[in-house]
Chain A
Amino acid sequence: MRHVAPTPPRRKLRVATASLAGCFGCHMSFLDIDERLLDLIDLVEFDRSPITDIKHCGPCDIGIIEGGVCNAENVHVLWELRANCKVLVALGACAVNGGLPAQRNHLDVGRCLTRVYRDRAGAAVPDDPELPLLLDKVRPLNEVVRIDFFIPGCPPSGDAIWKYLTDLISGRMPRLEHPMLHFD
């Protein structure tokens, strides 16, 4: 399905993407825009993203983030994108309201870790400094930094992502309505 054709911006926009406490489903759905990826690549170039494997973000026009914030590393990545991107888009249910990972929020993290690791014979709670510390609660992105745009859905459909991004790239106020607006 093709929606309003994007008006090309004067220069290619730089886009960063990241997956925090998500399942990568939103990135997969992003790839579901199929052959429209070729149109998109005429309009944007990718900075930090699982697609490019660039590890740190430079100055960007748009940052797209999947997943909520569940550990210290997520917070640092989110800060880096906020500092470098003119606009940030929360992509998908977990980025928007914490989603499935936030269903641990009524549990005590310390007790979870001891239950899973220490209480099993011969095991201990991992304390490798490489492992990011867990937050006591999983939070949606907008509870940690300012977020400019939200695309709900688990995952949002390729069509919804395409509609929203092309609106944004063309300088239109992005809008999602029936049947593209979905929380499930």
Chain B
Amino acid sequence: MSDDATFMLDGRPIRFVAGQSILEAATAAGTFIPNLCHHPEFKPHGSCKLCTVKVNGRASSACTTRARAGQEVASDTPELNRHRRTLLQMLFVEGNHFCPGCEKSGNCRLQALAYDLEMLNPHYEHFYPPRPIDASHPDVLIDFNRCILCALCVRASRDVDGKSVFALAGRGTAQHLVVDCPSGKLGDSDFAMTDKAAAVCPVGAILPKRVGFSVPIGERTFDVEPISAHAAHAAETRG
């Protein structure tokens, strides 16, 4: 496969290098495909399904599907965006997301995608699940109410920090994030503020302490520009 092979994304040619996923190639070209559980530095997890596109008419996750020459990929369509909105709404009602009181508000990728896809309400009946907060660590707080089970912290701790502090336990609606130490408390684990796992949470579940509102609400990343425009600018800066 030649290095300048292309596929079509919403009618526009996207160049890719062999081995890139559709999401990676689109991101490099400055075209935003909504995604939540993806991080360029980690192996794709393929769990949130926000990145679902149609490849030659078949639904596939853009983060786990290899780009191939000549593919016809549809992403920004009313049908796919409606499904994405539904996925977001389910994520909102499954946890406890009270944005006005959340330190991550304005920097949160879940919220930013909801803005971008014009999700005006969570639609479904709220679970209001009782979930704990773990404030045992001196530098980092975990608010399980906001965890969307994207496993980015799991991958970062295992693959970069070599510690495997986090894991996902349970199945279905009972699935939850656990801290791997006898007490289950972050403060008793060997987690450190400098870990990669401390810096990857896309939502307000893993939060550094004492910096909460150092950037005021209204001046944060996705207050300034929508997540799609932000992704396009990031691609420009990378060149």
Contacts and interface: CB of A to CB of B under 8 A. Distances in A.
Interface string B114-133: 11101011110110111100
Does more than half of chain B's interface fall in helix, strand or loop, or is it mixed? loop
Contacts of B106: 184
Contact-size category for A = 20 to 34
A183 B118 contact: no
Interface string A168-184: 00000001111101111
B99 interface: yes
Contact of A181 (B92, B105, B118, B125): B118
B126 A98 contact: yes
Contact of B128 (A99, A106, A178, A182): A106
A90 B111 CA distance: 19
Contact of B121 (A106, A140, A154): A140
Contact-size category for B = 20 to 34
Does more than half of chain A's interface fall in helix, strand or loop, or is it mixed? loop
B35 to A, nearest CB: 19
B130 A106 contact: yes
Interface of A: 90, 93, 96-100, 102-103, 105-106, 137, 139-140, 142-143, 147, 149-152, 154, 175-179, 181-184
Contact of A99 (B98, B111, B120, B125): B98
Interface in B47-77: none
Contacts, number: 77
Given A96-B121, A96-B122, A176-B120, 15 more contacts: A97-B97, A100-B101, A106-B129, A106-B130, A139-B126, A143-B126, A147-B121, A152-B121, A175-B118, A177-B118, A178-B116, A178-B225, A183-B114, A184-B99, A184-B102
Given A105-B128, A150-B120, A184-B105, A99 B100 contact: yes
Closest 3 A-B residue pairs measured CB to CB? Answer: A154-B100, A183-B99, A150-B121
Contacts of B96: 103, 105-106
Nearest to B116: A178
B118 A142 contact: no
A176 B125 CA distance: 23
B223 interface: yes
B152 to A, nearest CB: 22
